[in-house]
Amino acid sequence: MRSYSDELEAVTKRVEDAKGYLKLDSAIARTAEIEPQISAPDLWDDLAMARKLTGEYNALREDIAQVDRLWDMVLEVRAIEELLGDEDDQNLAQERRSTLDSLISLLSELELRALFSGEDDESDAILEIKPRAGGTDAQDWAEMLLRMYQRWADQSGFEVEVEDISPGQEAGIQSATLLVKGRYAHGMLQSERGVHRLVRMSPFNSKHSRETSFALVQVFPLTDAAIDVKIDDKDLRIDTFRSSGAGGQHVNVTDSAVRITHLPTNIVVSCQNERSQLQNKAKALQVLAAKLIDREKEEQRVAREVLAGSTSEMGWGNQIRSYFMAPYQLVKDLRTLTETGNVDSVMNGEISFFMESYLRWSKARS
């Protein structure tokens, strides 16, 4: 049986490793560089730069504080070990076990960070859901996914804004756009990009026959580049309309919704969550910019693969996960082969284990 000393030694090595993948030395140097800038009296004269600097500073300080906390816990376990010595003190032994378990749990969460390698992983994320084949069932399925992602974000500490939603004619939704805000929102949600398939007994036909429905999930990072990018007005068609929602459930009902069409690419973006037409237009332009940047990166990726004579499975149209509600209960990721029979928990937002499996799978392939 592994001794506490051996276990603590292994955990201490993992804490030391955290300094590497968090680039702690660089983080400490960068915070020292930023501190005079964020203390300057004219910092907020440039709002965009102020937001960028303070956001970077807070993220770096969070990393430094997390490692400091882990080291404090290591020292605490060592101190308890010394107090225990050869004594049989059950209270101290229980405290040692509890502290070590907490340390291991925090480390496991932090070690996910080592799996992020994309330049946009730390960014906020734009998540779009659209039904595909399956008619009313597919529209209902799209709304079920919307609820699943909202619950996951709430449980994971992310802030969620519904930027746009179009109700289905009979049930469900025709489309929805979420803004998920928080550090590593895009890094976590990138695993969800693709087609999600549902098999169930349909509640929308008289025979309640087994039906298969599909919904497409797209994910884009909302980066500083997307916020600052300028799009030529001549390339845009801007329409306004009265916002709508399922009984006001999803959005604020106003007369100021905005739909923007980017004419060269035919990309369409709508926003109806804000109170004013001006705010909706600004938010829609941000989403459009994020889509255009993502489109360009996707085209560059495909071009590189063509030159290299290889292809990947990262495209938007690929089926990534199946959800079976009949004749048996199963959710299975088709890339990582991760699966669970607890469909209810998945639909209630417990999907982080799918995301973590994807990150490990993706890291192993790179």
Spatial CA neighbour of 56 closest among 43, 71, 67: 43
How far, in Å, CA of 243 to CA of 250, rounded?
11
Q: Compute the residue count for the chain.
A: 366
How are beta strands 267-271 and 257-262 bridged, if at all?
A: antiparallel
pLDDT at 36: 92
Within 10 Å of residue 283's Cβ, how many Cβ atoms? Answer: 21
Locate 143 and state its tokens. Answer: 């709304």
User: Do 191 and 89 lie in a common domain?
Assistant: no
User: Do 196 and 83 lie in a common domain?
Assistant: no
Domain boundary pick from 67, 86, 115: 115
Within 10 Å of residue 230's Cβ, how many Cβ atoms? Answer: 7
Domain boundary pick from 86, 115, 144: 115
User: Do 23 and 140 lie in a common domain?
Assistant: no
How far, in Å, CA of 222 to CA of 122, rounded?
10
User: Do 72 and 130 lie in a common domain?
Assistant: no
Q: Please give the residue range of the domain that contains residue 41.
A: 4-115
User: Do 155 and 235 lie in a common domain?
Assistant: yes
How far, in Å, CA of 178 to CA of 207, rounded?
35
User: Do 74 and 136 lie in a common domain?
Assistant: no
pLDDT at 247: 40
User: Do 14 and 133 lie in a common domain?
Assistant: no
User: Do 82 and 130 lie in a common domain?
Assistant: no
Domain boundary pick from 94, 115, 136: 115
User: Do 220 and 265 lie in a common domain?
Assistant: yes
How far, in Å, CA of 33 to CA of 29, rounded?
6
pLDDT at 2: 59
CB-based contact 171:135 (threshold 8 Å):
no
User: Do 89 and 157 lie in a common domain?
Assistant: no
pLDDT at 56: 87
pTM reported for the whole predicted model: 0.80
pLDDT at 318: 86
Spatial CA neighbour of 240 closest among 210, 191, 208, 280: 280
CATH number at residue 67: 1.20.58.410
Ranges of residues in the chain with a pLDDT under 70 are: 1-2, 226-228, 244-255, 305-317
Count of domains for the chain: 2
User: Do 65 and 177 lie in a common domain?
Assistant: no
CATH number at residue 179: 3.30.70.1660
User: Do 231 and 133 lie in a common domain?
Assistant: yes
Q: Rounded to 5 degrees, what are φ and ψ at 82?
A: -65, -40
pLDDT at 248: 43
305-331 pLDDT, tens per residue? Answer: 666 665 454 444 689 999 999 889 999
pLDDT at 253: 54
- Angle, helices 4-21 vs 47-84, to 10°: value is 160
Cα atoms in the Cβ-side hemisphere of radius 13 Å centred on 103: 28
